[in-house]
Structure 1
């Protein structure tokens, strides 16, 4: 799915396995039992009682990043069995990959801190390996096992969602057909989207049945099985970005099983795809403005010394790529790749130097840095292979939200998006092409709504003032909906907890350990 589709055609969110047990389309032997922790839904005792068989993590790696991270000391991995369809617990089973970094103090251990980094489609195992190592000597790492799981269809979980080959994704990225708003261009784009949906169903094991059960509705059921398998009576959870949706959906489904929820970089639970898209565009627009102001203070800024002129300078650099991509070692830097690389860099100020360098290169007819940033976003390894994150992203969003099929609504959304993020306006006629979800072979299983959280302990919501991907107001709305506390972080980045900010980390730690919420109006 192209970046243009993801941000401008309403599929936006908001980021080789060996030695593993293969999934089976037949019922498997029951997982070994240890006795469940906490309540068990009818008919699921076998799954809730299973004993996880912890071992080395290296065999679970499905990407270059995972291969590096899974060599770390102090981590162990396992595979958890769950039903593909919870309405048919005696039927087909699938496997969920799990990683934990054990607490440093068994005597004072509280339990497990289960986390998910969002996406949707990002690896919770990779995230837990990184965060677990980072907090090992901190109170969070002393009090909790840091646990990450790859949601069904993602990463080390089996089967993976599989849609495009590496060559097909390279070809998709190199093409800028999605900016062609002519009738012929729209027809070609919709055929491409239809083919994508068909390939997902054909190439993913269990086909339509797997695609129908990928959504957050089913992921939170897996999460409750994991809670029990870890031996926790109640769940302590940290969700970033789209992972906040998993958190508040779990709270609604299992209100009595929640101990604590930290929701960082929140999605607004009431926003539909169009409103979420426009709000996200506004976030990227603000982040680009912050970057432009930072860059203008540099004598050699690629966009010049006037922040007010930065949008046009950026457009002048990137729009020519639509007709004349830049060769990068035999690959073509397309307009899509240049804007995707920019978006990757806007997620955190740490990449602003790299973005400025990439734009300066582009001014000289070169594109290596922007291509590298786009490869990072798309999780393309040095061997040319991709993680399946982008395939999973589309598949999950297509069952998590009602599809948008009205072409006038699509055009209006793109117009509004261009108003709030003009640097991403390609300057071409907007396309009314419907995205892959329109042609998805199974219906959606969820829709936006305020979660019902009666009986759920107050959550801690962290929202960043200039978050490029999940706008600040979404966090304000979620904190109110969850009847919890709001911590405002003043900065320009996407998510912040356990990433080195002392103020945020101390407030979040006090909540996780002691259940202490910050005072109203708290800011860092």
Structure 2
């Protein structure tokens, strides 16, 4: 049962809440009795009051700022330990957003949402989803949080400046496979790891406590501070790893979980990257099948020649970048990044075809805009922290590749799995930044073992390029949950206007009724 809420309005005045009834004027302090078990030594965090205020100052990108302008949103900062083994030591703050349930009498609790990444900010996702489904909006407070190191949370992970990122994107030095070129790339990877530690507040202490192990502990503090005895959770992509790790760590605190676009919990990072390469290759092949049926297909009308046509368009960018304007030019790296972004959803295929047609005129604006979307670069040249956090979490979550021979084998397997991303050069033994990461990893791939866990709902899409379909089955089996299959080519689907998927997910979240095993949905 949800703990009672004690409201202490700063001004004592009222305004109109989302359901049209009188509600507290922002800012106001909310104090909940800690719901559920409290780990010893963490009482001050689990029982902390939250001061809810407007969300205008919480956006860190143009998209976030726009999403956070919606009516009825409340934001706050949650205080958590930097290091959970030292609860009396340094603390950090997490940005949190809430859109209260519109039917307070029928309210179930909070629906905590994570959009994935790792490194993606969660406030704007919760704000955007809050109005998608009337039933969920009525029954749940939609809650988004920026994980530690991300977005409005403080401090953030900082590795490269905006100017350094632009420079790195433009140089295409990964195409130099000479011994000198490989040595230069290794030196850059080592320097990147050093900069992450040097430029991030709390340095290596922050990097050591940034991974999924710590994020799930933050979520449990958030659950209690919100007054929820049990967690109801929606996780997309990497957010499914957060969900499964939470389930392992706090199995008795789970009410319901929808995990959409699953990562296979048993795969090593090497296996994951190769499987993802194969997933994007399948999405590229699906794009080719569609494109070659169009009169203006940039790759021609012959499917058998489409890959060669694609390589003929993008490979020359390594030596001769395409014009974009504003002093920017489209590199090979940016072009392929833009292509990958477009392969996440069939809705972007028209843009991808337009971008490839532009390359024939030595113009790269469309592919550059897709790459900017992927890398979260705003028009003013500023970047979100997503890519830095992505690397930092990946390096601390899983074992690293430190053997050059293993790196060579991985790069070879990746080129074979995703031939559309083959730059035409032989694979090299280049190591990535994780090989030089200044703190040890805190996790290992494994199949979850959570006896007594309430049944969870895993959603997997047959043509998902980023998280292959088979991973959903593996996660559902590991957690003892039910797998819902969506037959399409895109990354994640829940609350994206598919009646079959949304109906099953909403029924489960509200009534805890799972769809029949083997249920399949289609567009």
Q: TM-score, normalised by structure 2?
A: 0.93
1:186 alignment partner in structure 2? 182
Work out whether 1:280 is the aligned partner of 2:276. Answer: yes
Work out whether 1:421 is the aligned partner of 2:418. Answer: yes
Work out whether 1:338 is the aligned partner of 2:335. Answer: yes
1:43 alignment partner in structure 2? 41
On the 8 A contact 2:212/2:397 being kept in 1, the answer is yes
Q: Supply the distance in 2 between the matched residues of 1:106 and 1:233 (Cα, whole angstroms).
A: 17
Work out whether 1:447 is the aligned partner of 2:444. Answer: yes
User: What secondary structure does 2:57 align onto?
Assistant: helix
Aligned-residue Cα RMSD (Å) equals 1.1
1:15 alignment partner in structure 2? none
User: What secondary structure does 2:141 align onto?
Assistant: strand
Work out whether 1:169 is the aligned partner of 2:165. Answer: yes
On the 8 A contact 1:179/1:430 being kept in 2, the answer is no
1:389 alignment partner in structure 2? 386
Q: Supply the distance in 1 between the matched residues of 2:304 and 2:492 (Cα, whole angstroms).
A: 27
Deviation at 1:516, TM superposition (A): 1.1
On the 8 A contact 2:30/2:52 being kept in 1, the answer is no
1:493 alignment partner in structure 2? 490
Q: Structure 1, residues 428-481: CA drift from partner, whole Å, max 9, x if none?
A: 121211110111111111111111211210110000000010000000110100
Q: Supply the distance in 2 between the matched residues of 1:506 and 1:309 (Cα, whole angstroms).
A: 42
4+ runs deviating over 6 angstroms: none
Deviation at 1:323, TM superposition (A): 1.3
1:404 alignment partner in structure 2? 401
Q: Supply the distance in 1 between the matched residues of 2:474 and 2:448 (Cα, whole angstroms).
A: 12
Q: Structure 1, residues 259-292: CA drift from partner, whole Å, max 9, x if none?
A: 0011000000000011101110111001001111
Greater RCO, 1 or 2 (C-alpha within 8 Å, sep 6+): 1
On the 8 A contact 1:32/1:49 being kept in 2, the answer is no
2:14 alignment partner in structure 1? none
User: Number of matched residues?
Assistant: 492
On the 8 A contact 2:112/2:233 being kept in 1, the answer is yes
> Gaps (5+ residues) in structure 2?
1-28
> Gaps (5+ residues) in structure 1?
1-30
Q: Structure 1, residues 372-393: CA drift from partner, whole Å, max 9, x if none?
A: 0000101100100111111111
Deviation at 1:32, TM superposition (A): 8.6
Q: Supply the distance in 2 between the matched residues of 1:66 and 1:506 (Cα, whole angstroms).
A: 28
User: What secondary structure does 1:97 align onto?
Assistant: strand
Name the CA shift for 1:32/1:523 in 2 (closer, same or farther; >3 Å): closer
User: What secondary structure does 1:134 align onto?
Assistant: coil
Counterpart mapping for 1:110-509 below 5 A: 110-135=108-133, 138-329=134-325, 330-509=327-506
Deviation at 1:33, TM superposition (A): 5.5
Deviates more, 1:173-182 or 1:330-339: 173-182
Q: Supply the distance in 2 between the matched residues of 1:72 and 1:175 (Cα, whole angstroms).
A: 40
Q: TM-score, normalised by structure 1?
A: 0.93
